[in-house]
Amino acid sequence: MSGPDNYEAASADAANEIASFDTGSKGFVSRFHHALHTTPALVPLIVLLASIAIFGVLLGTKFFSPFALTLILQQVQIVGIVAAAQSLVILTAGIDLSVGAIAVISSVVMGQFSFRYGLPVEVAIVCGLAFGTMIGAVNGWLIAVMKLPPFIVTLGMWQIVLAANFLYSANETIRSQDIAEQAPLLQLMGTKFNIGGAIFTFGVVFMLLLVLVLAYVLKHTAWGRHVYAVGDDPEAAALSGVNVKKTLISVYALAGLICAFAGWALIGRIGSVSPTSGQLLNIESITAVVIGGISLFGGRGSILGTFFGALIVGVFTLGLRLLGADAQWTFLLIGALIIAAVAVDQWIRKVAA
């Protein structure tokens, strides 16, 4: 066998080392960027812990008490539930401006079906949940099938649902006393219980369970991976076999259902059925999502980050209130956090590219 053809002899003299990559030379910034890219909830978690520590130092046991800390959970429960719905939509690179209106009209349907039509309260609640799901599905169909922009569709649906809410309810509020006497199940989410001095409500428990379930579904199921794929690149997702239309419709329908649950929790929170409640839920939910590190461009982020974002708003609100600061400082700091969160997201995307 000739020299050039003696492959066995040549391979015997070859090096036996396996290809490796030098990762030890990475600086702190590179490692930190990698951590942010792989764990989007890291930044809001750091901000949350830092804000709790700062207010804890300034206020002492006045802030660091089971009652005060669980009060934050009670205050953010509605926003947290709606923000979970908003997170699903934004992960698909969409946005839903109608989430607050869906929550309110679902609560109105529950109340009116119980008191105006005399239906059993269980049936009224199911009807309210179904109504919210239907509105979400219509949003999804217009976006996925009719190819209309999510911003325009949900902006229009927000106006339609808001007007329908006032027209249907005749702008009348169902009083808390009447609900407690005739349909107490409507106030179930507001039921409180004490654990070691910490006051919880069923609405808070529902929010926590919702966050955990959605976090698992998005990370460990095919549907969850499809949501991320559609948000990252819908054309590539379609080429890889993902049913983009079906995924989008299911996301918006699920968001509508979650908002309807938020409407039920809203009744428990305020005690009454009011068509004028929850008017800022759409903005507050987007705030929690953005501060929570979910990219407005879709395809990156986590539900846990959104939960941390909602808690950050709650911590700042309660902390500044206990300090006696002007309420406008809360809006100023939250606005700064929103801009900072978007800047961090842009930096992560730029470096990753």
For 18-64, how does the pLDDT look when each residue is reduced to its tens digit (9 = 90+)? 555 555 556 766 776 666 667 778 889 989 999 999 999 999 888 98
**Strand pairing report for 192-195 and 198-201:** antiparallel
Hey, what are 256's tokens?
Answer: 């509508």
- Per-residue pLDDT tens over the stretch 233-263: 999 999 999 999 999 999 999 999 999 999 9
Q: What pLDDT score was predicted for residue 32?
A: 67
pLDDT tens, residue by residue, 192-239: 999 888 899 999 999 999 999 999 999 999 999 999 999 999 999 999
pLDDT class of 308 with cuts at 50, 70, 90: very high
Read off the pLDDT of residues 127-169 as tens digits, 9 standing for 90 and up.
Answer: 999 999 999 999 999 999 999 999 999 999 999 999 999 999 9
Q: Chain centroid to CA 23: how far?
A: 35
- Tokens for 328, please give them: 């406008």
More confident position, 93 or 5? 93
Task: Compute the mean pLDDT over every residue in the chain, rounded to the nearest whole number.
Answer: 90
Q: For domain 44-51+63-352, is the CATH number 1.10.3470?
A: yes
In terms of residues, how long is the chain? 353
Opening angle at CA 70, ends 345 and 300, nearest 5: 20
Q: Which helix (H) or strand (E) holds 347?
A: helix 327-352
- 60's torsion region: left (phi>0), alpha (psi -120 to 50) or beta? left
pTM of the model: 0.89
pLDDT number for residue 90: 97
Q: What angle do CA 291, 292, 296 make, to 5 degrees?
A: 75
64-97 tens-digit pLDDT? 888 888 999 999 999 999 999 999 999 999 999 9
User: DSSP characters for 72-83?
Assistant: HHHHHHHHHHHH
Report the pLDDT averaged over residues 279-307.
92
